[in-house]
Chains A and B, each alone.
Chain A
Amino acid sequence: MPRTTTLELPGCPPIRALTFDILGLIKVIESRSAVTEADANQPQVVTASANITPKVVETWGAPDKSRCILNVSINDRKSDPLLAVARKNGQIEVLNPLNGEIRASETLEDSSDNPISGLHLFRKENSGLSSRSCSLLTCTEKGNAILRSLEIGGSLADSSDGSRKTWDVCSSGNIFCSAVDGNEKYAVFGGKGVEINVWDLESCTKTWNAKSPKKDSLDIFTPTWFTAATFLSKDDHRKIITGTNSHQVRLYDISAQRRPVISFDFRETAIKSVTEDLDGHTIYFGTGGGDLASVDMRTGKVLGCFIGKCSGSIRSIVRHPEFPMIASCGLDRYLRFWDIKTRQPLSAVFLKQHLTKVVFDSNFCDKETVTAAIGQGEKVQEKEEDDEDVSVRRKKSSRENDQEKQLRLKKKKKKPVQQEVDSNDDDEQEKQLKPKKKKKPVQQVVDDDEDDEQEKPMSENDEDASLPVKRKKASSEESEQKKKLKAKKKKKRVQQEEDDH
């Protein structure tokens, strides 16, 4: 019999995402229930279907190779949201993410061989500036960082605006990744030949610089080449996650040491994007070979991979601020949505071009309260579905595990040293998977679940503020913590259920 498994895509909650591609097109993808555009404004009676497949709603811009979008930053506040876009020809545009209207734009000089590699649009209001301006941090590949403010809605391309700070991040090498922490006081830069360094944005001074890791057991030094960086949690600027070209994921802790606290290899292609979860310890990263995985950074163990026919390099991953889902996009021309908990694909949208970035517009639900309410109902439905599907999925996953094992066995013959780590990971996965499935209550009210999530990291963060260097101890401690947490959770759930009844 031919092996035929169909990958069912359950659909996603109502969301709005924007994707950016190499032709400079911005595409708006929305998933909303079956409502026609005409009566979207009126209160509607909606036939709530369990699956909403996201669709391309709008496309902004004309295809032009030189306007390839390199970097994007969004400020999705409720009133007057802004979206900054950096293009290959050195143009920086500030758009309205709701209708694509250009609010401000500026062009950098000598952009041909010095493209913009980092862009951040500040969320907090600058007290000194008027409310009709926004501040932007840009960093070019050669290390020229500029902190500037742009007038919104004013005349285009007035770069001679008042406040503007310029500094050089590095003297040699190329900057490939940058990130700004949640409080927007610190920025981190890294790249080819540039070790990770942290800058204080107020005084524009370098506050910390990483040291390159030691030579390995074979006395081989791998040149520094960072490809992705992010902060581990929003409030904490001390922990930095980076991905390197030599397929390593590293955790730096500024308060602990200058070398990475945790560092592990993942498969055989460069890490191309890293994103943190809201809970403060889980990260998601994508590789150049199309692998997407999540890792618990307290232990450095792979929680599991997101499997679903993803065949091209993953350029960007975004975590949705409310729903437990992430979006990934990349060179395989697909935008994919994934469920975090089950690590199953929710849906995929074919977008025809190589995609560079994706962002979520988190206020999408607030605008249309009706759809939001439906969305929640749907989420519950989805949960039910998930529970039904568990048995099927288990079968599948076990099969996949078998395949992987077989593959590993083959590989093991070649590289016994490397694979041992992986196999451990696999075991870990299974261990972690089992209790999860047991734990799952039959019906869960979504809001409660989110509360749980928020509570969890808080308590844990207090306990291990600085990440332990010795792993063994840490893991044992954490397992205890986990047990405690689980017990707590169970109690809570029982209470809830009783309350419900």
Chain B
Amino acid sequence: MREMKMGGKRKRDEGESAAAEEEREVNPQSNKKSQVLPSTIKNKDKRAAVHSKIKHEKKLAKRKKQKDREAKEKKAMDLGEELPPRPVPHTIENQRVPDETICRLDDEELFAGNDADEFSGILKREFTPKILITTCRYNSTRGPAFISELLTVIPNAHYFKRGTYDLKKIVKYANKKEFTSIMVVHTNRREPDALLIIGLPDGPTAHFKLSSLVLRKDIKNHGNPTRHMPELVMTNFTTRLGHRVGRMIQSLFPQDPNFRGRRVVTFHNQRDFIFFRHHRYIFDQKEIKPLDGKSKNKEDKEKKEKKLGKVFTRLQECGPRFTLKLVSLQHGTFDTKGGEFEWVHKPEMDTSRRRFFL
């Protein structure tokens, strides 16, 4: 009985929608005005009907648009004309809220500021970085494994057991031993979840949230890195803050890459998330096989050796994979109580999904 009723209703709905569609085709503009939002309808059945109707219409419109475009393209192909430009999809990145702090290359003050900042010594190769890596008080399972991989990634890094020392004391010690930065890997529930980078002697302190960590052994077909100095790729650090954070990360690595090692460390910023990747690359050339496989002369053989195709690169991932998100950037070394922040994330700053800070 009930099924019957429901079926009946549905049928009626469909009939209605069909009628509505016809109406729309006759006079689309008036219909647009009279359209009601489905969320304002209180009856669930009717609401669902209207909603599904709207959805269906949208689908049809989209399909029509697609077909039109394809037809146009085909026509252009046939006539040998230039293809009509494909529309660029809207993404969050290309709709980013305009930011006045984005660095420009012609900005002299920016470079003056760079020369004066805490990292310029390292980045000008006046001295090489020396990193102290330590952990939070309690550290187990993935924490040590992550640190051992960090040690292979960052040259001239030294691991020190945290023990029960205060971080401020560690900062003092590291200053005395002429370290240039301290990295603290913070673990929570046996899982690394935060990274603190302290610039020494008076550099800033950056607090990152660390997420989606994949260790080397969990990466398929991973390679084992060599001890060559890595090349560094930093992308998308565009704003003034991003620039500063980028320079801070850059100052962790020595600035003389050994290109023989073909080892790349990438920090890629996208939507304020900094993605870390570690790769080894190799240049490869595919041989082009001669068309007739039965060449016997020596000359032919030599030719065959020279007949090499395009150079392309192959990548092999080696080393951990993780994502960082900046939580705060503090002026001076680690000081939670009296510290001054250069940037802290505050909820009132999240005014839009399309607003980014780095």
Q: What residues on A are CB-neighbors of B113 within 8 Å?
A: 23, 63, 352-353
B339 in contact with A3 (CB, 8 Å): no
A4/B337 contact (C-beta < 8 A), A63-B112, A354-B342 known: no
> Which of A6, A245, A331, A350 interacts with B351 by CB under 8 Å?
A6
Which of A96-104, A135-143, A156-164, A305-313 interfaces with chain B? Answer: A305-313
- What are the residues of chain B within 8 A of A225 when measuring CB–CB? 338
Q: A22-B116, A245-B337, A312-B341 given as contacts; is B107 within 8 A of A4 (CB)? A: no
Most chain-A Cβ atoms within 10 A of its Cβ — which of B115, B337, B340? Answer: B340
How far is A2 from B355 in the complex, measured between Cα atoms in Å? 12
Tell me the complex Cα distance, A22–B115, Å: 12
9 new A-B contacts, CB < 8 A, other than A288-B341, A352-B109, are A6-B351, A7-B351, A245-B338, A269-B340, A308-B348, A311-B349, A312-B342, A332-B342, A354-B331
Query: Looking at the complex, which one of B339, B342, B347 makes contact with A407 (CB distance below 8 Å)?
Result: B347
Chain A, range 316-361, C-beta contacts under 8 Å to B: 331-333, 350, 352-354
- Residues of B within 8 Å of A400, CB to CB, are 348
Whether A313 contacts B342 by the Cβ 8 Å rule is yes
Q: Give 3 nearest A-B pairs by CB, closest first.
A: A63-B112, A313-B340, A65-B116
Secondary structure type dominating chain A contacts: loop
**B116 touching A269, Cβ below 8 Å:** no
Query: Is B338 within 8 A of A288, CB to CB?
Result: yes
Q: Do B340 and A288 have beta carbons less than 8 Å apart?
A: yes
**How far, in Å, is B271 (CB) from chain A's closest CB?**
13
* CB neighbors of A among B327-348 (8 A): 331, 337-348
| Residue from B107, B339, B342 having most chain A Cβ neighbours under 10 A | B342
Where chain B touches its partner, the secondary structure class is mixed
Of the candidates B109, B112, B349, the one whose C-beta lies within 8 Å of that of A309 is B349
CA distance A63 to B117 in the complex (A): 12
Interchain nearest-CB distance for A356 vs B (Å):
12
Give chain A interface residues in 371-403, CB to chain B under 8 Å.
400, 403
Chain B residues whose CB sits within 8 angstroms of the CB of A332 once the complex forms: 342-343
* Residue pair A269, B109 in contact (C-beta under 8 Å): no
Give the CA-CA distance A311 to B244 in the complex, in Å: 15
Q: Which residue among A2, A7, A307 has the maximum number of chain B CB atoms within 10 Å of its CB?
A: A2
A-B contact count (CB 8 A): 97
> Can you give 29 A-B contacts (C-beta < 8 A)?
A2-B353, A3-B350, A3-B351, A5-B352, A23-B109, A25-B109, A63-B113, A63-B116, A64-B116, A225-B338, A246-B337, A269-B339, A270-B337, A270-B338, A272-B340, A288-B338, A290-B346, A307-B348, A308-B348, A309-B346, A309-B349, A311-B341, A311-B349, A312-B344, A313-B331, A333-B240, A350-B240, A352-B240, A354-B331
B103-118: contact bitstring with A at CB < 8 Å (1 yes, 0 no)?
Answer: 0000101101101100
- Expressed in whole angstroms, the Cα–Cα distance for A273 and B175 within the complex equals 30
Q: Could you tell me if A63 and B342 are in contact, using CB atoms closer than 8 angstroms?
A: no
Q: With a CB–CB cut-off of 8 A, which chain A residues contact B109? A: 23, 25, 63, 352-353
The reply on A289 being an interface residue by CB < 8 A is yes
B residues in contact (CB < 8 Å) with A: 100-101, 107, 109-110, 112-113, 115-116, 240, 331, 337-353
Q: How many residues of A contact B (CB 8 A)?
A: 38
Cβ distance B350 to chain A, nearest Cβ, rounded Å: 7
A313 touching B341, Cβ below 8 Å: yes
Centre residue among B112, B331, B348 by max chain A CB count within 10 A:
B348
Known: A23-B113, A309-B349. A288 touches B339 (CB 8 A): yes
- Closest-by-CB residue of A relative to B109 is A352
Evaluate whether A311 and B107 lie within 8 angstroms (CB atoms) in the complex, with A2-B352, A4-B351, A23-B116 already known: no
Would you give the 0/1 interface string for A1-18, flagging 1 where the beta carbon is closer than 8 Å to chain B?
011111100000000000
Is the pair A311, B343 in contact by a Cβ cutoff of 8 Å?
yes
**Does A270 contact B349, Cβ atoms closer than 8 Å?**
no
Q: Give the shortest distance, in Å, between B168 (CB) and chain A (any CB).
A: 14
Q: Mark A427-438, 1 if CB is under 8 A from B, else 0.
A: 000000000000
Closest-by-CB residue of A relative to B345 is A311
Q: Which A residues are in CB contact (< 8 Å) with B338?
A: 225, 227, 245-246, 269-270, 288
Q: Distance (Å) between the CB of B247 and the closest chain A CB?
A: 14
Q: Compute how far the CA of A296 lies from the CA of B51 in the bound complex, rounded to whole angstroms.
A: 54
| Cβ distance A268 to chain B, nearest Cβ, rounded Å | 8
CA distance A352 to B339 in the complex (A): 21
Query: How far is B313's CA from A66's CA once the two chains are assembled, in angstroms?
Result: 47
Other-chain contact of B341, A289, A350, A407 (Cβ < 8 Å): A289
Mark out the residues of chain A between 255 and 311 whose CB falls within 8 Å of any chain B CB in the assembled complex: 269-270, 272, 288-290, 307-309, 311
Q: State the CA gap A7–B97 with chains docked (Å).
A: 12
Q: Which A435-478 residues have C-beta < 8 A from chain B?
A: none
Q: Which residues of B contact A3 (CB under 8 A)?
A: 350-353
Q: Which residues of B contact A227 (CB under 8 A)?
A: 338
- CA separation between A269 and B339, bound complex, in Å? 7
In Å, the complex CA distance between A351 and B338 comes to 25
